[in-house]
Amino acid sequence: MEIRSEQPENKASRVLIVDDNPEIREIIHILLGGEEYDIEEEKNGNEAILKTKENAFDLIILDIMMPGMDGYHTCMEIRKESNAPILFLSAKTQEGDKMLGFSSGGDD
């Protein structure tokens, strides 16, 4: 019995970076770009939601503190369209912040 991966061997994993800070997006892009990921970026929650409706991603890296729609609400909306792992990237470190991240659909 042959086990097949869902993703073709020659296709890079797709990552969406969502952060309102362009410097943070650039740093993450540089770090992941060296690993040959197919990376897309968005600067706010609304754009990220639209992007996930149009495209499938293998990983979403999401900031919590963004103007307009915060990362928690963005995560809840993305979960309506995608089961991709969502990692929160934030300066928030309180236990309550972590619990809110998990309860909104985040994976870590």
| Domain span holding position 87 | 14-103
Residue 63 or 90, more confident: 63
DSSP per residue, 32-52: HHTTT-EEEEESSHHHHHHHH
pLDDT of amino acid 31? 87
How many domains are there within the chain?
1
75 DSSP 8-state letter: H
Answer whether residue 63 shows pLDDT above 80.
yes
CATH code for the domain of 82 = 3.40.50.2300
Q: Confidence class of residue 93 from pLDDT cuts 50, 70 and 90?
A: low
pLDDT at 107 over 90: no
**Residue 3 within a domain:** no
Higher model confidence: residue 105 or residue 86?
Answer: 86
Q: Tell whether the model's pLDDT for residue 21 goes beyond 80.
A: yes
Placement of tokens 């995560």 in the chain: 75
Q: Would residue 81 count as lying in a domain?
A: yes
* 68: CB partners within 8 A, 6+ apart: 44, 45, 46
